[in-house]
Amino acid sequence: MLIIEKAYNVTLIEYANMANKPIFNLSELFLKNVTPQKNLNPLKQLQEMVWQLQKLKNSMGTTQSLLDITSERETKNSLFPAITFLFTFEGMYLSCLNSVIYLLICFGHDLYDPIRKNPYIHSPEEIAEVSVELKFRFLEEHQLKAIVLRDSQFIRNKIAHNEFKCQNGSSIITLNVKKDHKIVEKDYHISSELALLADYSYNIVIQLEALINTLSQQNEVFYKQA
């Protein structure tokens, strides 16, 4: 599989576990599992995807600024990297997933949310409103588990609900986790987790751009021959 190097300049520490480094090929995963229906012309939607992609690329600057500030303050207190982690998950990462989901919808794969009055999701705005869990399951069902970060979701939930402890003078946060039917405390190096989350997000943006270009070229040929 293709490994995209870091697409940004950041001084955050390397991952505690290098086995977690983002390794996935979005084009390979998508093209292997997704085929447009004969009666579906996704070219118009792909133009919408180009616009969505540009919004993602623009937001990278804001995320980068936060990462730079965080790298300067991470050794003083873990609260700032924790907040930056939440911002990056809710902003950059979920926006990336929303774009991939919209691309799947463009190619005829239905996203269904039973709690909505109109349960079928069609637009980027509607995708943004559905739960993270539904998005994760949809991507996993379409063989895109490689970009689903459930550990990051767990950390995000704890931070969002203020269920964590900061440690002064370090970038460690402590969370309560279940282990052997008991609640125990577990330390997380939040700067390392943040670096991983940012890397995944930027990798998705880079690979999504290449995938959209490939799909646009393929479908132009496909519908001219149809």
DSSP 120-136: EE-SHHHHHHS-HHHHH
The answer to whether 79 touches 166, Cβ cutoff 8 Å, is yes
Residue 25 lies in a domain: no
Residue 221 lies in a domain: yes
Residue 33 lies in a domain: no
The model scores a pTM over 0.85: no
Q: H-type helices in the chain, by residue range?
A: 26-33, 43-73, 79-88, 94-106, 124-129, 132-141, 150-160, 190-225
Is the pLDDT reported for residue 221 higher than 50? no
Arithmetic mean of pLDDT over the chain? 76
pLDDT, tens digit, for every residue of 96-149? 899 899 888 877 788 888 887 888 888 888 999 999 999 999 999 988 898 999
Residue 35 lies in a domain: no
In this predicted structure, what is the pLDDT of residue 22? 58
Is the pLDDT reported for residue 37 higher than 90? no
Residue 12 lies in a domain: no
Residue 9 lies in a domain: no
Lowest mean pLDDT among 57-61, 160-164, 175-179: 57-61
Number of domains present in the structure of the chain: 1
Count other C-beta atoms under 10 Å from residue 168's C-beta.
9
Share of the chain above pLDDT 70, in %: 75
In this predicted structure, what is the pLDDT of residue 116? 79
Residue 211 lies in a domain: yes
Residue 58 and residue 46: Cα distance in Å, rounded?
A: 18
Residue 83 and residue 79: Cα distance in Å, rounded?
A: 6
**Arithmetic mean of pLDDT, 44-63:** 72
pLDDT, tens digit, for every residue of 185-210? 888 888 888 888 888 888 888 888 88
**Domain extent for 153:** 40-225
Residue 111 and residue 138: Cα distance in Å, rounded?
A: 7
Residue 207 and residue 195: Cα distance in Å, rounded?
A: 18
Residue 219 lies in a domain: yes
In this predicted structure, what is the pLDDT of residue 75? 56
